[in-house]
């Protein structure tokens, strides 16, 4: 495969839209391209290959993609050797329509065949025509693919792909397919490989993480997996996203509470507080069950920070239904929320439902929801003023501003913390991946400030790796698609082991 022009390696840039799964897929795309001889472009605007990894969930996903493709057209006309590829959920949905709408696109690939990208790029160059390849199901589990991690201190680890739910507003199952679960031993092997490279925090990732085990018949597999991660030496933080309330079991709460490195943070999508709307959404749980889970989590972990997803204006939603959502928000006391105004997504049952809510009504309800959430999240954050927190310094958060000189990071509960470095300057300054303990002095609705001197600063191997410019770059550790049957055994000491 030729990836050089006159002896100079071809460059690439990956542009990602969407959820955490898309972000992790982009790490695999980068790994594949670098394995094929490409190098990341120093100037993204001058890349030889631009890859769009797309989302199909948001209302403006189509407009955003085609707008960006249109923006690139003049650039490509000036540089005939340039290639444009479109992958991800929108590619899986629109398929060949993409090259009809934007004939300057060279490659279209789906969610199930990321591994084909380098070959498709080469084929498109050789044949001088667009290549469209969309598979209907996975042939190889994505974790077999090389991955270029974006962080020295935190990593995504997929435990499953796909979803077996049939939510009427969601197109993901049609684009990602039915759930496929990795073997526990393979997941732990990837976690251990990351930790060996200095990673301190992993996020277990799936469209519905707590249904993990459905393929090999173990309803308690996810709780066992959480406990197993507690046996990985050097792993300091474990998170997961996203669970589904219908599959959330008491053993998962116990595993979170009893496993020291599992963070007391939980993203639990609500979508609506109305039982009638939840039924129309096919969410298969009701308000009472949802709030019951929240109560159990808080009883086991009083310090737990719980976040959520909420959709406003689902077809048929009445003012009474919306008031039920507000009532759940008041009772659940979320630390933050991802909020969405309902929009029709082609191919979903909700698209053709009657009683679509007028846009002005949706906007009014949305504004009221945001106002309530701001009030609650601010009040919950104020409770932390004067409390000591452990912060993992994060490069992505960056400095809050040059005037204050604060650095930023995430507390164990996931909250964003801007902290003063005090006398920790020069060679002693905290680096991304280091751990700082500090005291919260001020709370805002969406972040916390710590303006005093840090209580402590622990230099870590992740910080060393960041300083040296090393990012974990893993080959795939899976052997292929998992099969139905008995999973690989987990360590005996564990007792067995996005939505």
Domain assignment present for residue 162? The answer is no
Domain assignment present for residue 98? The answer is yes
Residue 401's pLDDT band, with cuts at 50, 70 and 90, is low
Cis amide leading into 86 (omega within 30): no
**pLDDT value at position 4?**
59
Question: Percent of the chain beyond pLDDT 90?
Answer: 57
**pLDDT value at position 139?**
59
Domain assignment present for residue 38? The answer is yes
Average pLDDT, the chain: 86
Domain-terminating residue out of 114, 133, 152 = 133
**pLDDT value at position 152?**
85
**pLDDT value at position 436?**
97
Higher pLDDT residue, 492 or 132?
Answer: 132
Over 80: is that where the pLDDT of 474 sits? no
Q: What is the DSSP string of 59-81?
A: TTHHHHHHHHHHHHHHHHHH-TT
Domain assignment present for residue 23? The answer is yes
Residue 133 in 3-state DSSP?
Answer: strand
The whole-angstrom separation of Cα 45 and Cα 87 is 19
* Encoded tokens for 40: 């990341």
Higher pLDDT residue, 317 or 163?
Answer: 317
What's the pLDDT tens digit per position in 363-387? 999 999 999 999 999 999 999 999 9
| Of the candidate ranges 98-112, 165-179, 228-242, 453-467, the one whose mean pLDDT is the lowest | 165-179
**pLDDT value at position 218?**
92
Q: Is the pTM of this model over 0.85?
A: no
- Of 476, 32, 103, nearest in space to 12 by CA: 32
Asked if 204 and 242 touch (Cβ cutoff 8 Å), the reply is no
Q: What is the mean pLDDT of residues 443-470?
A: 91
Domain assignment present for residue 218? The answer is no
CATH number at residue 15: 3.40.50.2300
| Of the candidate ranges 56-60, 223-227, 295-299, 438-442, the one whose mean pLDDT is the lowest | 56-60
Over 50: is that where the pLDDT of 398 sits? no
CATH number at residue 448: 2.40.50
The residue segments making up the domain with residue 26 are 4-133
Residue 470's pLDDT band, with cuts at 50, 70 and 90, is low
Torsions phi, psi of 278, nearest 5?
-60, -40
Domain assignment present for residue 204? The answer is no
**pLDDT value at position 490?**
30
Over 80: is that where the pLDDT of 232 sits? yes
Over 60: is that where the pLDDT of 122 sits? yes
How distant, in Å, are the alpha carbons of 230, 301, 337, 412 from that of 263?
11, 10, 18, 6
Domain-terminating residue out of 99, 133, 167 = 133
Residue 492's pLDDT band, with cuts at 50, 70 and 90, is very low
Q: Which residue has the tokens 């969406």?
A: 446
**pLDDT value at position 402?**
62
**pLDDT value at position 159?**
92
- How many separate domains does the chain show? 2
Domain assignment present for residue 368? The answer is no
**pLDDT value at position 403?**
66
Q: Which residue has the tokens 């004939």?
A: 103
**pLDDT value at position 410?**
95
Domain assignment present for residue 302? The answer is no
């Amino acid at each position: 495969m030729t990836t050089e022009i006159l002896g100079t390696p071809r460059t690439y840039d990956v542009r990602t839209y969407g959820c955490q799964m898309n972000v992790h897929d982009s790490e695999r795309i980068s790994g594949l391209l670098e394995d094929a001889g490409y190098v990341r472009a120093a100037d993204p605007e001058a890349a030889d290959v631009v890859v769009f990894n797309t989302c199909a969930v948001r209302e403006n996903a189509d407009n955003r993609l085609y707008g960006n493709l249109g923006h690139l057209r003049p650039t490509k006309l000036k540089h005939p050797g340039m290639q444009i590829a479109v992958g991800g959920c929108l590619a899986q949905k629109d398929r060949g329509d993409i090259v009809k709408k934007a004939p300057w696109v060279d490659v279209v690939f789906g969610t199930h065949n990321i591994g084909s990208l380098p070959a498709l790029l080469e084929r498109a160059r050789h044949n001088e025509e667009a290549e469209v390849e969309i598979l209907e199901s996975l042939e190889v589990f994505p974790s077999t693919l090389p991955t270029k991690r974006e962080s020295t201190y935190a990593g995504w680890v997929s435990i499953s792909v796909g979803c077996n739910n049939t939510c009427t507003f969601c197109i993901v199952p049609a684009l990602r397919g039915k759930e496929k679960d990795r073997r526990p031993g393979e997941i732990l092997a990837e976690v251990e490989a990351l930790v060996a490279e200095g990673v301190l925090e992993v996020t277990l990732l799936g469209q519905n993480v707590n249904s993990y085990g459905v393929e090999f018949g173990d309803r308690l597999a996810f709780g066992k997996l959480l406990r197993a991660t507690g046996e990985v030496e050097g792993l300091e933080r474990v998170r997961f996203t996203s669970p589904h309330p219908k599959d959330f079991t008491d053993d998962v709460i116990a595993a979170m509470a009893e496993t020291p490195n599992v963070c007391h943070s939980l993203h639990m999508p609500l979508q609506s507080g109305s039982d009638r709307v939840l039924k129309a959404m096919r969410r298969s749980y009701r308000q009472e069950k949802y709030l019951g889970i929240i109560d159990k989590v808080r009883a086991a972990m009083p310090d737990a920070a719980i976040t959520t997803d909420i959709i406003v204006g689902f077809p048929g939603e009445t003012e009474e239904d919306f008031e039920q959502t507000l009532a759940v928000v008041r009772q659940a006391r979320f630390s933050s929320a991802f909020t969405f105004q309902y929009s029709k997504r082609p191919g979903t049952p909700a698209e053709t439902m009657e009683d679509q809510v007028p846009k002005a009504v949706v906007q009014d309800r949305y504004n009221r929801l945001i106002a309530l959430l701001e009030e609650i999240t601010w009040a919950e954050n104020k409770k932390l003023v004067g409390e000591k927190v452990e912060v993992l310094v994060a490069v992505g958060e960056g400095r809050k501003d040059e005037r204050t000189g604060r650095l930023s990071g995430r507390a164990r509960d996931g909250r964003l913390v801007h902290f003063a470095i005090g006398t920790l300057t020069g060679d002693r300054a905290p680096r991304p991946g280091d751990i700082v303990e500090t005291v919260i002095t001020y709370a805002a609705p969406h972040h916390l400030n710590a303006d005093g001197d840090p209580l402590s600063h622990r230099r870590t191997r992740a910080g060393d790796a960041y300083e040296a410019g090393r990012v974990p770059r893993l080959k795939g550790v899976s052997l292929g698609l998992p099969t139905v049957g008995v999973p690989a055994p987990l360590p005996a000491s564990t007792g067995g082991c996005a939505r």
